[in-house]
């Protein structure tokens, strides 16, 4: 391995400061801990998150922790941005999606394709046959409406998802699935181990324990 390959390999095992900042924002948003979310949002913006990216994380929160937590988190982001503006901090606005999100049948098609790509195979099962409505909602709302918005990349969305699910007791099955999806979108085992460390250092031991267990189960499969 030459020096350039060695540097690339090392970099692939490390989350950037911006990527690390996503994790506690997502976790505290899912947990509904607004005071700690406030501090995490400030750290995230200081670490390079744009306003648009922070909003995207907290909009995506609704799919995993419900509209009340998402709405409360977005309201807190507004307070954070207002306070920073009053202190003379000029945060980078970021960008809107570069293309319109499809609607109707095209949305279902796009969402199904996104879900298949993220999961590595078409998603089927008895649960979705039992409740086809939830299958359609996943494909259209989560993997369509949300994952079609390209102003937050898929790796960042997966870091957010893992952060959210790690903070939610009882979501271990979904957390393990998203460890697999995280690696499908290019995050490495080393980066996910660092995510666990971020949870332990910046969130709480229980969230880190759930993430560590999910990652360990995935890596032995």
What pLDDT sits at residue 13? 85
What pLDDT sits at residue 175? 98
Measuring CA to CA, how many Å separate 53 from each of 33, 67, 75, 117, 179? 20, 18, 15, 22, 21
Task: Name residues whose C-beta falls within 8 Å of residue 201's C-beta, 6 or more positions apart in sequence.
Answer: none
What pLDDT sits at residue 221? 81
**Using N-to-C axis directions, what is the helix angle for 172-184 and 104-119, rounded to 10°?**
90
The DSSP 8-state label assigned to residue 50 in this structure reads -
Is 118 in contact with 147 (CB distance < 8 Å)? yes
Please state, for a pLDDT cut of 90, what percent of the chain lies above it: 94
Closest by CA to 183, choosing from 210, 212, 154, is 154
Is 52 in contact with 91 (CB distance < 8 Å)? no
**Using N-to-C axis directions, what is the helix angle for 154-166 and 189-202, rounded to 10°?**
50
Per-residue pLDDT tens for 96-121?
A: 999 999 999 999 999 999 999 999 99
The yes-or-no verdict on residue 195 having pLDDT over 60 is: yes
The yes-or-no verdict on residue 3 having pLDDT over 80 is: no
Tell me what the mean pLDDT of segment 15-38 comes to. 98
Closest by CA to 127, choosing from 79, 83, 173, is 173
The yes-or-no verdict on residue 29 having pLDDT over 50 is: yes
The DSSP 8-state label assigned to residue 79 in this structure reads H
pLDDT band of 190, cuts 50, 70, 90: very high
Query: What is this structure's pTM?
Result: 0.93
The yes-or-no verdict on residue 2 having pLDDT over 60 is: no
Which domains does the chain carry?
A: 15-96+153-221 (1.20.1290.10), 97-150 (no CATH)
What pLDDT sits at residue 185? 97
pLDDT band of 12, cuts 50, 70, 90: confident
CA quadruple 35, 37, 41, 43: dihedral, nearest 10? 80
Task: Name residues whose C-beta falls within 8 Å of residue 217's C-beta, 6 or more positions apart in sequence.
Answer: 176, 179
């Amino acid at each position: 391995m030459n020096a350039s390959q060695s540097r690339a390999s090392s970099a692939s095992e490390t989350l950037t400061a911006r990527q690390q900042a996503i994790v506690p924002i997502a976790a505290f948003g899912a947990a509904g801990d607004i005071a700690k979310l406030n501090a995490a949002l400030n750290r995230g913006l200081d670490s390079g998150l744009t306003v648009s990216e922070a909003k995207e994380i907290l909009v995506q929160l609704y799919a995993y922790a419900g509209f009340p937590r998402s709405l409360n988190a977005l309201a807190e982001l507004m307070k954070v941005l207002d306070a920073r503006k009053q202190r003379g901090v000029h945060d980078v606005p970021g960008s809107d999606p570069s293309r319109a999100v499809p609607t109707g049948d095209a949305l279902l098609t796009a969402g199904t394709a996104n879900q298949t790509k993220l999961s590595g195979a078409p998603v089927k099962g008895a649960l979705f046959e039992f409740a086809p409505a939830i299958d359609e909602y996943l494909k259209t709302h989560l993997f369509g409406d949300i994952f079609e918005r390209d102003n937050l990349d898929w790796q960042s969305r997966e870091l957010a998802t893992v952060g959210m699910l790690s903070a939610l007791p009882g979501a271990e099955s979904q957390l393990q699935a998203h460890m697999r999806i995280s690696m499908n979108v290019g995050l490495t085992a080393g980066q996910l181990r660092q995510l666990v460390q971020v949870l332990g250092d910046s969130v709480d031991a229980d969230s880190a324990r759930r993430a560590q267990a999910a990652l360990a189960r995935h890596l032995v499969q």
